[in-house]
Amino acid sequence: MRPIKQMLRLAHDGVSSREIGRTLGVARSTAQDNLARASAAGLTWPLDPEVTDAVLEQRRLPDPG
């Protein structure tokens, strides 16, 4: 979950998806996809203290069923 937290932090700081991708070693589209999922799940930076890694994973990738 560390890369997701880094993506949220960088996006909050105004860093572009392209630069986030470069910084974290992922494709721009991966950064955009993860940020879109986080946004759809209502996740913003800074994260609430009760948002643990398990909660973050569950909210970011909800059960499709």
Q: Do the beta carbons of residue 51 and residue 43 sit within 8 Å?
A: yes
Which pLDDT score is estimated for 62? 64
Which pLDDT score is estimated for 56? 85
The Cα 5–Cα 2 span in angstroms is 5
Crossing angle of helices 2-12/17-24, nearest 10°?
A: 140
> Is residue 6 in a domain?
yes
Domain count, the chain: 1
Domain that holds residue 42: 2-60
The Cα 15–Cα 60 span in angstroms is 21
> Is residue 65 in a domain?
no
> Is residue 44 in a domain?
yes
Which pLDDT score is estimated for 14? 97
Enumerate residue ranges in the chain where pLDDT < 70: 62-65
> Is residue 52 in a domain?
yes
